[in-house]
Amino acid sequence: MTSGARTVGDLLDAVERRPNLAVDADLTLAVDGRDIDVRAYDDLVAVELPSLGAAVALWRGRPFDQTDAAVALAAAGLTVELRVRGAPVARLGAKAVPGDLTRRLGFGPVELYPEGALLALVSARRG
């Protein structure tokens, strides 16, 4: 944490007072034997996953709370879009538009794309 920040709230306040971040990345990560492509341009970070199973495993095995991550991303002016086989399945952060379900579940700035998950399932059966 930055000097003077004692809570996550203090850290978020400090981040909100700074200019938005811009990210430029083009990399591939290996997580549990699965390749995950990460492409970032300016304020959007696209995370390409090979399957819905990989997306669920990533969601379950995360070392952080999804609400904290989404709020921190929004405070920094960043958006992460999770994609499976090219289809967006979730968006977290600044440009996420939460629906009724995510608001009721208290997920913060998280947008889910059920049609993207369905498209990923259909493309997996064809491939």
Per-residue confidence (pLDDT) for residue 39, from 0 to 100: 96
118, part of any domain? yes
Per-residue confidence (pLDDT) for residue 33, from 0 to 100: 85
Split the chain (127 residues) into runs of 10 and give each run's mean pLDDT: 63 71 89 89 93 81 73 89 93 94 87 91 70
Per-residue confidence (pLDDT) for residue 15, from 0 to 100: 67
Provide the number of structural domains found in the chain.
1
43, part of any domain? yes
* H-run or E-run covering 30: strand 23-31
Task: Judge contact between 27 and 84, C-beta under 8 A.
Answer: no
pTM of the model: 0.78
Per-residue confidence (pLDDT) for residue 75, from 0 to 100: 84
Per-residue confidence (pLDDT) for residue 63, from 0 to 100: 63
Per-residue confidence (pLDDT) for residue 61, from 0 to 100: 66
Per-residue confidence (pLDDT) for residue 89, from 0 to 100: 93
CA–CA distances in Å: residue 41 to residues 26, 64, 70: 9, 24, 18
Q: What is the domain range of residue 86?
A: 20-126
14, part of any domain? no
Per-residue confidence (pLDDT) for residue 124, from 0 to 100: 65
36, part of any domain? yes
Helix-strand-coil split of the chain, %, nearest 5 = 35, 30, 30
48, part of any domain? yes
12, part of any domain? no
